[in-house]
Amino acid sequence: MMKVICAALALAVSAAAQTYSAAPNVGLSTADAYPPSGTAVNSSLFPPESVVGFPGPTPTGVEPAVAQTAPLYPYNTQAAGSFPLVFDQPHGSDTGSSFEIKNYWGNLSPWRSVPSADYGLSDASPLIPHGCSITQMHLLYRHGARYPTSDAAPAVFAQKLNNATKTQAGLAFSGELSFLSNWTYRLGAELLTPFGRAQEFMLGVEYRQLYGELLNNFTEQGAIPVFRTESQDRMVKTTENFAAGFFGVPEYMDEVNIEILVETLGVNNSGAPYEVCNNSNIASRGSIGSAAANAFAKNAFNATLARLNTQVVGLNFTPTDAISMLQLCSYETVALGWSAFCDLFTQEDFIKFEYYYDISFYYNNGPGSPVSAAQGKAYLQEYLARFTGKFPSPFSALNETFDNSSTYFPLNQSIYADATHEVVVLDALTAFNLTALFAGPPLSATGDQSSNTFSASKLVPFATHFTTQVLECPAYQTTKQIRFIVNDAVVPLNGSYDGCDYNKDGLCSFDTVVDVLIKRMDEIDYDYDCFGNYTASAGFNYNGRAPRSA
């Protein structure tokens, strides 16, 4: 059976920490192939999801019916890009338009490969540079496409329509809105959608093809890896689908330890740090992005709202409704395969919808947030522990019970895979101080997008992933090198990491990067940023840190 673990178990397990240095072996005999012989399943150490509990809400939605409801068949072509989803053209566009609406849904977009050139490395490839070999890979990735969270805007919009149906005798829809006469809300809450499951399965297949040779190191050690996740149902299913793609079905049930850490208010968890960072949800601190995004949306969709309101009697659509319907476009598409809401909005609307999320994420979990680095500190500590061979110190959201155990937090793996939420991926990128991802001035909260270089759909889409490659490169004076990759884009380190010069492949000395990250970890004041009394506001780049009075 599958082996899993929860943070509620308090087992005292200790072992000598080891650093990882072995290079992968190739050409092993069948007898030496993964998984290593003699490995045993221990269900008492790794209980299943049903034992761990804390799954969060789990209502399901209705079954999709694209074959009957969609206007187009979801052919798997390069242009479509996300079979089996159907994407309409924006309102007012002809069929020859190349505008991809799915790239303008912020964190609700399906992940896509981002060119390294977007961050200044026009010649860099995520493939291992010539003359180097990989020795270790770290992956931090987000769950796949899901239903909306409980009581989110789409459900509120559906309730508004339902209430109007009951109270407005003359309620009527015409033209583009005629479909609302028979429309019903068909989405569940929080669970992975079928497309979301496929995203994670295919991500697992991709990473087995990219990095499968690193399993040889587990064979040598006579061990199997630990993959980590959280207890919410979509998080467990995300890791299971990733593991199924990576190892196969049913092999993954015996070839990987899936560690489930409880995600609930008040419990430390590096994959859900907002549950213990008090300032995270305070309007004048950790939620300044939400307020700024809502202020921007008040006048962003006036022209479209004026058009839509001429096609309804007995109801008035507001800016909040515009955001709800745009969200329904994305949520219905990734859940049901297609959405009639998408055709209501223009290309300009989708660009503004993306900017709505850009503002929110930049100031809630990016460099404009006063708490993002503190929330990303726990993963940064765990990350560095895997390099230094020392269990991480406290004073963050990490769970000490399990981060001080070689059983549950091994320090010698050649492959690490940690599943989390998009906000935590962005918190981590901010904690790592990867400033190339946030180049340019702070985002305008008033809607001036002319200098915006930050894109939520590139950094935090469904199934986003942040990868570290540790390499041996004999041609370099310092042979051990490291580099960071976000959704296939190699991230340059010069300019933000002291001692890292420009490198066309994004490489920098392993020791230099570790030293820079240790300094960054030490400068992040978790207690003050998460519990201090201060006021922050949109319009500033705080580098993820709380402002200090002079």
Give per-residue pLDDT as tens, 318-355.
Answer: 999 999 999 999 999 999 999 999 999 999 999 999 99
498-503-507 Cα angle (round to 5): 75
Q: Which residues contact 200 (CB under 8 A, 6 or more apart)?
A: 143, 144, 192, 237, 238, 239, 241, 242, 245, 463
- How many CB atoms are closer than 10 A to CB 123? 9
- What 3-state class would DSSP assign to 106? helix
Residue 85 phi/psi, 5-degree rounding, is: -90, 150
Is residue 258, in this structure, part of any structural domain at all? Answer: no
User: Per mean pLDDT, which of 29-33, 55-59, 442-446 is the most reliable?
Assistant: 442-446
Pick the more confident residue, 78 or 331.
331
The amino acid at residue 14 is S
Residue 471's pLDDT is 96
pLDDT by residue (tens digit) across 171-181? 999 999 999 99
pTM: 0.88
CA 35, 39, 45: angle at the middle one, nearest 5? 120
Q: How confident is the model at residue 87 (pLDDT cuts 50, 70, 90)?
A: confident
Nearest-CA neighbor of 432 among 383, 394, 480, 398? 383
Structure tokens at 108: 């609700």
Long-range contacts of 156-159 (CB under 8 A, 24+ apart): 156/324, 157/321, 157/324, 157/325, 157/328, 158/184, 158/185
User: Number of folded domains in the chain?
Assistant: 1
pLDDT at 349: 97
Cβ-contact 251, 260 below 8 angstroms: no
Note the pLDDT of residue 528.
97
For residue 248, being part of any structural domain is answered with no
Cross-strand partners of 487: none
Is residue 485 within 8 Å of 491, Cβ to Cβ? yes
| CB neighbour list of residue 399: distance below 8 Å, 6 or more residues apart | 7, 261, 267, 268, 269, 270
Neighbours of 43 (CB within 10 A): 12
Position 397 scores a pLDDT of: 95
Lowest mean pLDDT among 185-199, 203-217, 322-336, 361-375: 203-217
Predicted pLDDT of residue 8: 40
**Residue 290: HSE in the Cβ half-sphere, 13 Å Cα cutoff:** 9
Amino acid at 85: L
DSSP letters for 452-480:
----HHHHSSBT-EEEEEEEE-TTSSS-E
Report the CATH number that the domain containing residue 517 is assigned in CATH.
3.40.50.1240
Give tens-digit pLDDT for 227-253.
999 999 999 999 999 999 999 998 899
Domain that holds residue 546: 104-189+269-550
Backbone angles phi, psi at 419, to 5 degrees: -95, 145
- Neighbouring CB atoms inside 10 A of 518's CB total 15
- Nearest Cα residue to 414 out of 133, 144, 142, 203: 133
Q: Give Cα 141 distance to the centre of its chain.
A: 5
Report how far residue 404's alpha carbon sits from residue 373's, in angstroms, rounded to the nearest whole number.
22
SS3 assignment, position 298: coil
- For the chain, percent of residues with pLDDT exceeding 70: 89
Q: Is the pLDDT of residue 512 over 90?
A: yes
Instruction: Write the pLDDT tens digit of every residue in 278-316.
Output: 999 999 999 999 999 999 999 999 999 999 999 999 999
- Rounded Cα distance, 495 and 473, in Å: 22
Residue 40 inside a domain? The answer is: no
| Amino acid at position 250, single letter | P
CB burial of residue 48 (10 Å; 0-12, 13-18, 19+): middle
Categorize the per-residue pLDDT at 4 as very low, low, confident or very high, splitting at 50, 70 and 90: very low
Please state, in angstroms and rounded to a whole number, the distance separating the CA atoms of residues 210 and 208.
5
Q: How far apart are the first and last CA of the chain?
A: 58
Return d(Cα 445, Cα 354) in angstroms, integer.
13
In contact, 293 and 356? CB cutoff 8 Å: yes
Mean pLDDT across the chain:
89
Per the domain annotation, does 494 fall within a domain? Answer: yes
Residue 355 counted as domain residue: yes
User: In one letter, which amino acid is 210?
Assistant: L
**Where are any strands of DSSP class E within 177-290?**
226-230, 257-261
The sign of the torsion formed by the CA atoms of 248, 251, 253, 259 equals negative
- The reply to whether 149 falls in a domain is yes
d(CA 444, CA 46): 47
Specify the pLDDT at position 284: 95
Amino acid symbol at 20: Y
91 part of a folded domain? no
**pLDDT attached to residue 75:** 57
What is the model's pLDDT at position 86?
Answer: 87
Q: Is residue 326 part of a domain?
A: yes
pLDDT category at 41 given cuts 50, 70, 90 is low
pLDDT tens across 354-407, in order?
Answer: 999 999 999 999 999 999 999 999 999 999 999 999 999 888 999 988 888 899
